Amino acid sequence: MYQKPRSLHTVEAGPAMELPPVIFYLPGASSSVTFISTGDHQPTRAEIQAARARERQAHKAHKQMISALLSNDASRIAEAWPALHRLEPLHFLSTQCAKQYSDLITRREPHSFSLSSATPTAVDRLAALAAAKAFNTGFWACMRRYWDAGNPDAVLSLFDHLDPLLQQRVDLLRKMPSTPGTVSSYYECTGWPKPLPHLTLAYALMAHASKGSFPAAMKTLVGKMANLSSFSDIASSMQLITGTPSLHKKAREYARRIFDASVFILPLSTFRGRVEIGGQRISRSLRHFAENSIAECLREDACIVVEGTKSSNPEPDRHQVVVDDQRWAILLRALIVNRQPAAAERLWDRLHQLLSPMPMCLWAARIDGYAQTKSFDQAEEAWEKLRATRRPSAAVYSVYVRALFSQGRVRDALAHFHSLRDRIGTEPYLVDDPDILDVHDVVLEQLLRLSRVDEARKLLDDMKAHGPHPRTTSFSAFLKHHADGNDLGGVLATHDEMHAYGLVLDTYAASILLTAQFGAVHSDAVPLVLALVQQDGIVLSQRFIHRLLAHFVGSGNRSSLYAAIALVDHLDNSPSKPLVADRNYIQILRGIESVPWEDTACAEQLRNTVLDKALASGRKLMSHSHSVAMLVTACIANPQPSGPKQAWAYYKAYRDAPDRLIVDKNVHIRLLAGLRKRDECTLAKKVVADIHAANASGARPPQYSSLAREIEYVKKRVPWDKSDEMEMQMAA
């Protein structure tokens, strides 16, 4: 029965935003309307009447579409589609509507599908609409019908139709105002934008492979596979699609090549995290990635090329990813640090064939990698080999001097440093080179660590007088030294000296200043430091607060974590409340769970303080799947025996939330993999039982791919290392 609409809330919108006047429509008893307005403006009577008229149209169009789907008549669906499409269903239809469409399309009889069309039909468009809201079963049913009918062009046409719909959802998310609750309320009703599922990508890859069109597959899919953790999930999904062994082999090769290329197009910081952190989790995966990538560079039809080589000028009909020196250096260092020296040497040798001379950032990565693994003989060998033929760059000096300090060879480190200082002003050691300043900052930091304060002070004064001129990071070494010694006077004096020199605080310096102040004057510390930050011209923003908190939680000590809690609490209870988001509370919780506390009571107190303050401010931290997955990962990584149990506690709070319909599969995957890694068989079996219960109740569609593998590993008691090896063999 049609229900009278009601206004839930208004949404602040800028004049440039083009959003429908009715944001979402819910069928049935909970039918509702949300208006777009500016600021605190309440909808006028005319706006309310227009919204109600539109809501009645939505109800009528939805009812007609459901009736047409139930009739299993393609012509009736085609007739009902225009009325629904005119109402911009991508933005206003709720997830309940999308789920109904997807389920009914899945249950349609095979003969009711049009299998010869190369352009999307009304059923296809409706299925894509539901898939854009993360209800994919109907979309997969359409793809399967076309695939089984031998029509790969229709599969690709359907895939191409879905992609812009997903992009529109993401664009809308970016345009939505940052008013607390606005975005989450809207997307919880209409569906959060999500990446393309593995099975959808698998169908597209199989279709491209059947046409033998790797360049087209590369061009279409390289940007869409960058967020995947491994291509083995897609390879597993391909097993659900019919095809000859040779076709499956070709599609898997396409998937691997495109996945490897997609990793290199990530932003540099994201690439570094993927390679370094991912390498720590599964070093064999990193080895395969490195060896496959460099082998790809040597192919005639390479889709990955080394910057500066002849092949880095792609032909017009080929889509290539050009990889710069910095990314190769990050990969080389990660291989060495993750105990894969043989793979690192192979990568070095092949890059040496392609690049002449070898870029300095690669030499720096090689030396730093071996120094980090305490293989100082190899680090020194690389240094001597470079110095015998070329002048090491300042960046290479920086990592080598740091390595010497780490070995306790202070005299040698200072000798090399002073040798470099004597050359400053000559090529290639220019006084304003940031790498030159990096070396000085390393020496300042190490001298202060060794309590050679007078030498550090003399060096800083010399830098101020003759160059390279110190920057905020140079003074931060002194700030940290005084803060570690509980010398608040020294901290404040250093800050004043910075100011007199014309420098301002950065997030790291601000975090040190706040921690030091917090240890001395709890009540006034936060507003005092924030005032100093603003005095230095820094605008308080969500980005700044996030980075500031990152320094607090990264330190892993009690004082810094209490300072982080005080900062968030202060901002959450001030007029600048939008500066604080749910992710900031999660950020602090992750910091707490990452510390191997000897005093578990302290950890419990910190954890409860954060959760209580979040609850008091009306935040539902356990409602966000991604946040819970990150907390689970942090708990599992904690070497303390309490880590897995705390991961289970977060999972239970998330699972049992009052508004929880399903548990996101990524939460289950991370929890199962982590519990298995920690040999927590009892807890892992409880999670598997939860998954089976959800499947039996119909609350979750059948699972496959990564989650199915983890369930199987738990049932068969497969050890972590063995399953890791099996996955790598699949990837190879």
Closest CA to 62 of 23, 32, 93, 91: 93
Residue 196: phi, psi to the nearest 5?
-60, 130
The whole-number pLDDT of residue 35 equals 52
Q: Is 310 exposed, middle or buried (0-12, 13-18, 19+ CB in 10 A)?
A: exposed
Element of type H or E holding 420? helix 410-423
475 found inside a domain: no
Residue 625 main-chain phi, psi, to 5 deg: -60, -45
Q: Give the whole-angstrom CA distance, residue 698 versus residue 700.
A: 5
Residue 726 in this model has a pLDDT that exceeds 50: no
The CA-atom distances, in angstroms, between 180 and each of 120, 185, 457, 548 are 38, 9, 47, 21
> What pLDDT is stored for residue 436 in this prediction?
94
pLDDT digit string, tens, across residues 538-559: 777 777 888 888 888 887 778 7
pLDDT tens digits, residue range 232-278?
Answer: 778 888 988 999 999 999 999 999 999 999 999 999 988 998 888 65
Q: How many whole angstroms separate alpha carbon 612 and alpha carbon 568?
A: 13
Are residues 423 and 561 part of one domain? no
CB 366 within 8 A of CB 328: no
Is residue 613 located within the same domain as residue 644?
no
Q: Tell how far CA 660 is from the center of its chain.
A: 23
* One domain for residues 667 and 603: no
Side-chain half-sphere CA neighbours of 290 within 13 A: 34
**Banded model confidence at residue 178, pLDDT cuts 50, 70, 90:** low
Same domain, 603 and 501: yes
75, amino acid identity: S
Domain assignment present for residue 210? The answer is no
Q: Is residue 311 part of a domain?
A: no
Q: Is the pLDDT of residue 713 over 90?
A: no
- For residues 612 and 680, state if they share a domain: no
User: For residue 39, which amino acid is it?
Assistant: G
Least trusted range by pLDDT, from 350-359, 404-413, 687-696? 687-696
* DSSP designation for 504: -
Residue 218 lies in a domain: no
Residue 551 near residue 506, CB atoms below 8 Å? no
End-of-domain residue from the set 152, 177, 194: 194
CA distance 330 to 367: 12
Does 358 score more than 90 pLDDT?
yes
The letter for the amino acid at 455 is: E
Look at 285-299, 365-379, 697-711 and tell me which has the smallest mean pLDDT. Answer: 697-711
pLDDT at 707 over 90: no
Alpha carbon 653 to chain centroid distance?
A: 23
What is the number of other CB atoms lying within 10 angstroms of the CB of residue 153?
Answer: 14
Check residue 730 and give its pLDDT.
38
CB 122 within 8 A of CB 74: yes
Higher pLDDT, 312 or 353: 353
Please count the residues of the chain.
732
Please enumerate in sequence order all residues whose Cβ is within 8 A of that of 676, keeping only pairs 6 or more positions apart, or say none: 684, 710, 713, 714, 718, 720, 723
State the residue for tokens 């990955």: 304
More confident residue, 394 or 674: 394
Stretch among 56-65, 196-205, 413-422 having the lowest mean pLDDT: 56-65
pLDDT value of position 36:
45
Token pair in block for residue 215: 């360049």
Q: Label residues 617-634 b or e (16+ Cβ within 10 Å = b).
A: bebebbbbbebbbbbbbb
Q: Is the peptide bond before 428 cis (omega within 30 degrees of 0)?
A: yes
What does the DSSP assignment read for 13-71? --TT----SS--B--GGG--EEEEESTTPPPPHHHHHHHHHHHHHHHHHHHHHHHHHHH
456 in a structural domain: yes
For residues 697 and 658, the model is more confident at: 658
Cβ contact 309:320 at 8 Å: no
C-alpha to C-alpha distance for 511 and 31, rounded to whole angstroms: 48
Same domain, 548 and 577: yes
Q: For residue 577, what pLDDT is reported?
A: 56
pLDDT 10s digits, 98-128: 889 999 998 876 555 566 666 788 899 999 9
My answer on whether 51 and 133 are in the same domain is: yes
Cβ count within 10 A of residue 597: 17
**Mean per-residue pLDDT, 448-463:** 95
pLDDT interval class at 9 (50, 70, 90) = very low
pLDDT at 13: 36
Check whether 479 has a pLDDT greater than 50.
yes
Domain boundary pick from 554, 583, 617 = 617
Query: Does residue 695 share a domain with residue 598?
Result: no
φ, ψ of residue 529 to 5 degrees: the values are -70, -40
Residue 165 identity (one-letter amino acid): L
DSSP letter for 505, please.
-
3-state secondary structure labels for all residues of 67-94: HHHHHCCHHHHHHHHHHHHCCCHHHHEC
Task: From 557, 586, 617, give the residue that closes a domain.
Answer: 617
Torsion sign (Cα): 417, 418, 419, 421: positive
Is the same domain home to 180 and 44?
Answer: yes
Strongest mean pLDDT among 525-534, 674-683, 718-727: 674-683
Give the domain range for residue 132. 7-194
Residue 34 lies in a domain: yes
Residue 97 pLDDT: 85
Q: Which of 158-162, 363-367, 656-660 has the highest mean pLDDT?
A: 363-367
Q: Tokens 């020496």 belong to which residue?
A: 443
- Which of 653, 651, 615 shows the shortest CA–CA distance to 636? 651
CA angle, corner 478, sides to 472 and 482, nearest 5?
135
| Residue 131, both tokens | 């898939």
Grade residue 7 by pLDDT with cuts at 50, 70 and 90: very low
The most distant pair of C-alpha atoms in the chain lies apart, rounded to whole Å, by 87
Lowest mean pLDDT among 428-432, 521-525, 695-699, 728-732: 728-732
* Number of domains comprising the chain: 4
CB atoms within 10 A of CB 111: 8
How would residue 667 be classed by pLDDT, with cut points 50, 70 and 90? confident
Establish if 573 belongs to a structural domain. Answer: yes
Pairing of strands 33-37, 304-306: unpaired
Range 366-389 average pLDDT: 94
Helix (H) or strand (E) holding 305: strand 304-306
CB 135 within 8 A of CB 100: no
* Residue 176 · residue 183 · CB < 8 Å: yes
250 located within any domain? no
> Do both 456 and 493 map to the same domain?
no
Average pLDDT, the chain: 82
Model confidence band, residue 195 (pLDDT cutoffs 50, 70, 90): confident
Question: For the chain, what percent of residues have pLDDT higher than 90?
Answer: 39
Q: pTM of the entire structure? A: 0.77
Using alpha carbons only, how large is the chain's radius of gyration in Å?
Answer: 29
Say if residue 381 is in the same domain as residue 402: yes
**Coil, strand or helix: which one is 11?**
strand
Residues 50 and 182 in one domain: yes
| Higher-confidence position of 111 and 215 | 215
Start-to-end CA distance of the chain, whole Å, equals: 56
Instruction: Provide the pLDDT for residue 311.
Output: 59
What pLDDT is stored for residue 550 in this prediction? 85
> Which among 190-199, 249-258, 610-619 has the top mean pLDDT?
249-258
Percent of the chain surpassing pLDDT 70: 82
